[in-house]
Amino acid sequence: MSKLSKKAKGSSLKTVNTKSFSKTTRHKFVSIPNEDVNNNRARAYEYLAF
């Protein structure tokens, strides 16, 4: 946990965004309707735009 907290302190918003984005892309391989995956991807891009 201490390693993670140190990383979180030093990490920028971008790294957090990419982590959440990779999570949504990983769901692609799970049996989820394409619409949901596309919505998640659009949301991630929206998040990155800020």
Residue 15 has what pLDDT? Answer: 53
Residue 40 has what pLDDT? Answer: 74
CA atoms within 13 A on the CB side of 31: 0
Residue 1 has what pLDDT? Answer: 45
Length of the chain, please? Answer: 50
Residue 42 has what pLDDT? Answer: 73
The span from the CA of 10 to the CA of 30, in Å, is: 32
Per-residue pLDDT band for 12 (boundaries 50, 70, 90) equals: low
**pLDDT tens digit sequence for 15-49:** 555 555 555 555 555 554 566 666 777 777 676 66
